[in-house]
Amino acid sequence: MTGKTARLIFWVGTLTSAAIFLWQTYDFHMQTPRLTHTDKLTEQVVAGKKVWHKYNCNDCHTILGFGGYYAPDMTKAFYRLGENNIASIVQHPDVMYKNSFRKMPQLGVSETETRQLVSFLRWVGDIENRHWPPQDEKFVQAYRLRESQPEKLDKVHLVLQACGGCHTFENQGRNVGGDLTTIANRIPYDRQTLINYMINPQSVRPGVAMPPQDVSPQTAAIIADFILSLKSTKEVNK
């Protein structure tokens, strides 16, 4: 090979790749509004992104798979946890992770900032990113189904979607507030009290740590039936 050929390889290689890349960058900007729903990218979402940066969440949690790998990915966190759970975790990590083997720091995020963060995460969850991460896809599906037709949804999925952020069932979900089967066998409530409890825990048991759940009365009813059914199975078994 002559020196001239070598130089040619350098220039042709570099310039073709750069040209393709720049064209793709142009196209990326053209398509981003569709793929990330920029019409829903409100001031509130941007404020949430600033909160996300301010507390350096991204150096423990990945988002879109980037960042620190110490804590769960946040891309679909809105679907996995829901608004209330996110708020409780962000504001009281010491309580939420009391029994966890990994701790989240108390960051001092304010009430307003928490709302902004939730809006940001809700918007991020809608980015059309080919269903990544794989493990959270079930939560996205469950959320979408729950929104449209609660009756037809596989009950376990529904319950875990709503309660799995703090309760476990058959080893699924996060154990902060106890296992649902254990709870079912402990509680003395009837169906309606249980529904009230979910929607506003303080109304039934003042002082309890569980936050109010953002579920419709119909969904709450399905969950209540499910939990009460766990109780009866146990008794029958005995």
Partner 1 sequence: MLIEYQSQRVSLWYFRLALVLFILQVIMGLWLSINYAFTLPQDLVNVFPFSTAREIHTNVLVAWMLLGFMGGTYYILPPECGRDLYSPKIAYAQLVIFVAAAVTAVIGFLFGWTRGKPLLEIPFPLNGLIVVAALLFIANVAMTIIQSKQKSALQWMLLGGVTFLAVMYLFGMPFYKNLNTDYYYWWWVIHLWVEGAWEVVTASIVAYIIMRVTGVDRKVVEKWLYVETGLFLFTGIVGTGHHYYWIGAPDYWIWWGGIFSALEPLPIVLMVVDTWMHVRERRNPIVNPLTWYYIIGLAIYHLVGAGLWGFMHTLPPINYYTHGSQITVSHGHLAFFGAYALLNLTIFYFAMPRLKGINKYQDRLGKWGFWITTIGMFVLGLVFGIAGILQTYLERFLDIGYSTAHLTMMFWFRVAFGVGLVFLAGVVITVYHLFTIKPSSIPAPEPVVTPASNI
Binding string to partner 1 for residues 134 to 173, with x set by CB under 8 A, is what?
A: xx--x--------------------------------xxx
CB distance 220 to 203 below 8 Å: no
Q: Which of 6, 148, 186, 207 binds partner 1 (CB under 8 A)?
A: 6
The residue count for binding partner 1 (CB under 8 A) is 73
Q: Which conformational region is residue 8 in: left (phi greater than 0), alpha (psi within -120 to 50 degrees), or beta?
A: alpha
Q: Which of 23, 26, 28, 66 binds ligand HEM (CB under 6 A)?
A: 66
DSSP codes, 106-121: -----HHHHHHHHHHH
CB of 68 to ligand HEM, least distance (A): 4
- Beta-bridge mates of residue 61: 71
- For the purposes of burial, counting CB atoms within 10 Å of the CB of 204, is it exposed (0-12), middle (13-18) or buried (19 or more)? middle
64 binds ligand HEM (CB under 6 A): no
215 CB-near residues (< 8 Å, 6+ apart): 162, 198, 199, 223
Task: Tell me: does residue 106 bind partner 1 (CB under 8 A).
Answer: yes
x/- contact string, 42-81, with partner 1 (CB under 8 A)? Answer: ----x--xx-xxxxxxxxx-xxxxxxxxx-xx--------
Taking the complex as a whole, the smallest distance from the CB of residue 22 to partner 1 amounts, in Å, to 9
